[in-house]
């Protein structure tokens, strides 16, 4: 299926969140047009150069995570090469800033470098099993401006 930013935003409210344990493992990120070029460059500017995706792990009764970067020297288009863990994440079921419906909410600790303490990724599952992430900036005036979509697939 070919997704667009608009189709993903329209689908958002009709989707359900994955259970936290359903995301455990490595998930590779991708973007839809026109974000395929812009988003990786923007992420590089704010501390996630060569962003690969997310790694979630079970820790006791909860799930936590980290972002994954491709090691320097590897092609940004490939999935080979060493993955480096960075930027820890907290994971919990919550409600979406977009529609007040359930979402798996990924947040970053207050001590994270800026802008990450204000970034909030929300996850729901598309009909084909792909995880749709929406990134929001959790600050007054920016919370309800619409999320920036990204896709996560199991590697």
Q: Which residue has the tokens 């999320």?
A: 147
Structure confidence by residue, pLDDT tens digits, 35-91: 988 888 888 888 889 999 999 999 999 999 999 999 886 555 544 579 999 999 999
Question: pTM, whole model, 2 decimals?
Answer: 0.90
**pLDDT tens-digit map of 115-152:** 999 999 999 999 999 999 999 998 877 766 778 999 99
Specify the number of domains making up the chain. 1
| CATH number, position 91 | 2.40.128.580
DSSP states along 98-123: TTSSEEEEEE--TTSPTTGGGEEEEE
Residue numbers of the domain that contains 80: 5-126+133-154
Looking at residue 140, its pLDDT comes to 78
- Which tokens sit at 106? 């990924």
Position 74 scores a pLDDT of 52
What pLDDT, on a 0 to 100 scale, did the predictor assign at position 79?
Answer: 44
pLDDT at 75: 53
């Amino acid at each position: 299926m070919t997704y667009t930013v608009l189709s993903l935003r329209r689908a958002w409210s009709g989707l359900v969140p994955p259970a936290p344990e359903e995301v455990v493992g490595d998930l590779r990120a991708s973007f839809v047009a026109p974000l395929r070029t812009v988003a990786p460059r923007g992420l590089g500017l704010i501390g996630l150069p060569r962003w690969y995706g997310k790694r979630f792990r079970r820790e006791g009764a909860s799930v936590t995570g980290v972002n994954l970067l491709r090691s320097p020297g590897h092609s940004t288009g490939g999935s080979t090469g060493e993955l480096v863990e960075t930027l820890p994440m907290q994971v919990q079921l919550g409600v979406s800033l977009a529609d007040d419906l359930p979402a798996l909410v990924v947040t970053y600790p207050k001590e994270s470098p800026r802008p990450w303490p204000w970034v909030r990724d929300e996850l729901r599952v598309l009909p084909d099993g792909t995880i749709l992430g929406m990134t929001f900036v959790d600050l007054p005036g920016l919370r309800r401006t619409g999320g920036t979509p990204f896709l996560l697939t199991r590697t």
